[in-house]
Homo-oligomer: A and B are copies of this chain.
Amino acid sequence: MNWWKVLGFSFGALVVLAIGLLIGHFGISGGADPEWVKNLAQDLDEKFIQQFMKEVDTEKIKENLRTLSKKPHVATSEADEELVQLLLSRWKDPTIGLDEAKDERYNVFLSFPDENNPNNVRVLSPEGDVKFESNKTEAQLTEDQKDPNILQPFLAYAPNGTVKGNLVFANFGRISDFQYLANIINLNGTIAIVRYGGTGRVNKAINAAKYGVVGVIIYTDPKDINDGKSNPSETYPHSWYMPPSGVERGSFKENFGDQLTPYYPAKEFTYRIPESEIRGISHIPAQPIGFDNARTLICELGGPLAPESWQGALGCNYNIGPGFRPGNFNNSEVQVNVYNKRTIRSSANVMGLIRGAVEPDRYVIYGNHRDSWVHGAIDPSSGTAVMLELTRILGTKLKSGKWRPRRTIIFGSWGAEEFGLIGSTEFAEDYYSKLRDRTVAYINVDISVFANATLRVQGTPPAQGVVFAASKQVKTPKNDLTVYDNWKNHSNRTSSQHGVIPQIGTLGIGSDYAPFLHYLGITCMDIAYTYDTRVTSARIYPAYHTAFDTFDYASKYIDPGFTSHQTVARTAGNVLLRLADSLILPLGARDYGETLDGFYKQAETFQTNLSKHNISLEPLKWAINRYKAAADSLEEVIKTLSDSEKTPLKIRMINDQLMLLDRSFINNFAFPDKLYLSHVLWATRSSTVATFPGLADAYQTAIESDVEHEWDLVHHQLTIAIQAVDNAASTLETVTKI
């Protein structure tokens, strides 16, 4: 062999070796490159989201809604149970279902009208003759209203009784309204008729009782709900407006959750407080009526003319009473008869679950209630129709092996929401520890479509970014704008970070997000399509809680074509997938900084009076600055994370910081008088100043009483606020900072 041959062969061998090295290193997976390394990096697939959105089908949603709203299905009724079975069968379906589904029952305290003894409002002559009696039911304007299972108009938990007195008109029934009346007339022993709006339903009666009123009648003024329209020909079935006989039903209490088992799931063996210990309910009878009946009463009232702002659209002058003017009801009194039945019944939640592939111990929860007052086409079936369309598409992908989310997704169909968010609250109590420790976010879609104009989102600040991201990827049904741009046109604000952006609303206690937000401290959002407030001033969609909230109503007047439902499904589903699938949670920490700045600015209006009592806001400022620095720094870390830094535990660390951010604002000792309300930023507040609710309310009380002890309570609430902000900052700061 020649030297050149040796060289040649050697070179050849080297080339072959090099090829071997390259193939060996890059081409073979195995022991040194475990499969899980790739799996743990599973991230959001934008193509999957596009595919999901494409598959959202208006026809399917429409058929869901038709099925869901076929019968009146008040909580625990036979029809409600049929829907439980429907949900179970959908979610257990082998081709379109989820990994698991089950129903879970609680024995909850409910209140129903007595069908054999209907509540009523009467006008009684001095001789005892019944000169007028309110309708027992709503008018039968379509076949739907003929259903024998329609729940008669009533206020759940309103106490029973027969009370009689002179009628007075008390506007919205706010404290200020009764105070106005009390300055002019004697309210003792009267019956007050008040209109919906202005304050919470039960607060009208609680306020009334403080002024000696013995019974309350509530009605919906056409001015507030119908843009003034009150003629039958202008209202449903001829338009979306409430017919004259329509009555808004509702729960008549302040606190949510099962009233007999606060903080504990209402199981059979759970201790129940005596009914006498229930707080936040009315102690005087109350009954709702339609505006046709209200017109009969109000237009006959005597006494001085009510103020201009109290006048409604019943077509007469509203006097305040007491009692009727000379005429048909001369010297007559009004009697309110309430015969409600309180009872404990078994109510079901239905839960469906998709196991997370990578982080099964992180939950994204999506829910809505199932129970309605009557047919509940809009409230809540419009939301459930959307939820079932989401689970159909995702279930199909899941069952065909095309997709499994990074995190676990839990769907909830809550029971007995209309009675006060009972199913969701019992769920939060029953699953307390694991929900608290593992839940990334809760998405609520109750009424999905109020109207067709624009997206409307309420949520805590960390949810803003993901909702924006989703809404930028969806087109509106009506124009060529994205949902995001259309929303921004309807409602916007200027953000110090983002410029002009759509306005996200704050969450109260109005739907099933409340226990998740206020009790568990979970980042929450509530998503819907809604009105153009430039076009209608309706307080809510006019058939709300009446026997006219039907499939016919929804498909004719709320969302013909179901394209708004489709838009909500696309947006909410997009949000859900981003939360469940993104490697790094799409929750914003800096957005809370803007909220805190806003709160501080509002609190500064207290400064002069605080200074007089040696209370300084400076430490709150320091805490907020600390928060903002921590949020800036965490978001910078996320933005500049290199691929090699994206190790599973580093990502998990950051995600835990984001997940637990809202949790860090929870303080179980902050509001001892407010059941469940522990979120220091979002608890309810009476004051109109949009700052920390405990601080705002304590300040208002102190100003009104000017007792030194009340200023102590202001200082205490300020300390609570500072502590909460410091805790949140500390959650976001470098984890090894001491």
Point out residues on A near B: beta carbons under 8 Å: 9, 12-13, 16-26, 28-34, 36-37, 39-40, 99-100, 102, 104, 261, 263-265, 267-271, 273-274, 351, 353, 355-356, 358-361, 408, 410, 429-434, 437-438, 616, 618-619, 644, 647-649, 652-653, 656-657, 660, 663-664, 667-669, 712, 715-716, 718-720, 722-723, 726-728, 730-731, 735-736, 738
A and B contact pairs by CB, cutoff 8 A, 12 listed: A21-B21, A25-B25, A25-B30, A264-B723, A269-B618, A269-B719, A274-B712, A361-B653, A434-B731, A648-B648, A648-B652, A668-B668
**Shortest CB distance A498–B (Å):** 27
A653–B356 alpha-carbon span in the complex (Å): 12
B660 touches A437 (CB 8 A): yes
B17 touches A25 (CB 8 A): no
A610–B499 alpha-carbon span in the complex (Å): 64
A433 touches B648 (CB 8 A): no
A24 touches B20 (CB 8 A): yes
Which of B23, B33, B268, B356 interacts with A21 by CB under 8 Å? B23
Residues in B whose Cβ lies below 8 Å from that of A618: 269
A102–B737 alpha-carbon span in the complex (Å): 11
Residues in B whose Cβ lies below 8 Å from that of A736: 99-100, 353, 355-356, 360, 408
- Max chain B C-beta neighbours (<10 A), residue from A351, A437, A657: A437
* CB-CB nearest in chain B for A650: B36
Which of B16, B26, B263, B718 interacts with A17 by CB under 8 Å? B16
Residues in B whose Cβ lies below 8 Å from that of A12: 13
A269 touches B32 (CB 8 A): no
Known: A16-B17, A271-B718. A738 touches B102 (CB 8 A): yes
Extra contacts besides A268-B619, A271-B715, A433-B731 (7): CB < 8 Å: A19-B20, A20-B21, A21-B23, A25-B25, A25-B28, A355-B736, A360-B653
**Shortest CB distance A42–B (Å):** 11
A34 touches B644 (CB 8 A): yes
Residues in B whose Cβ lies below 8 Å from that of A663: 433, 437
- Max chain B C-beta neighbours (<10 A), residue from A353, A429, A668: A668
Known: A34-B644, A353-B736, A652-B649. A716 touches B432 (CB 8 A): no
The number of times this chain is found in the oligomer is 2
Residues in B whose Cβ lies below 8 Å from that of A726: 430
Which of B270, B408, B727 interacts with A433 by CB under 8 Å? B727
A269–B719 alpha-carbon span in the complex (Å): 8
Residues in B whose Cβ lies below 8 Å from that of A723: 264-265, 429, 432
Which of B16, B355, B649 interacts with A40 by CB under 8 Å? B649
Which of B99, B434, B649, B652 interacts with A735 by CB under 8 Å? B434
7 A-B pairs with least C-beta separation: A20-B20, A24-B24, A21-B24, A668-B668, A24-B25, A361-B735, A269-B619
Residues in B whose Cβ lies below 8 Å from that of A274: 712
**Shortest CB distance A300–B (Å):** 49
Residues in B whose Cβ lies below 8 Å from that of A16: 13, 16-17, 20
A410–B669 alpha-carbon span in the complex (Å): 27
B719 touches A271 (CB 8 A): yes
**Shortest CB distance A9–B (Å):** 7
* CB-CB nearest in chain B for A709: B274
Residues in B whose Cβ lies below 8 Å from that of A667: 263
* CB-CB nearest in chain B for A35: B644
Residues in B whose Cβ lies below 8 Å from that of A268: 619
B28 touches A720 (CB 8 A): no
Known: A16-B17, A32-B29, A723-B264. A437 touches B23 (CB 8 A): no
**Shortest CB distance A20–B (Å):** 2
* CB-CB nearest in chain B for A734: B360
A32 touches B25 (CB 8 A): yes
Residues in B whose Cβ lies below 8 Å from that of A656: 361, 437
Residues in B whose Cβ lies below 8 Å from that of A264: 719-720, 723
Residues in B whose Cβ lies below 8 Å from that of A429: 723
A359 touches B669 (CB 8 A): no
Residues in B whose Cβ lies below 8 Å from that of A31: 26
A146–B712 alpha-carbon span in the complex (Å): 46
A433 touches B269 (CB 8 A): no
A360–B263 alpha-carbon span in the complex (Å): 34
Known: A37-B37, A271-B718. A432 touches B25 (CB 8 A): no
A712 touches B653 (CB 8 A): no
* CB-CB nearest in chain B for A17: B20
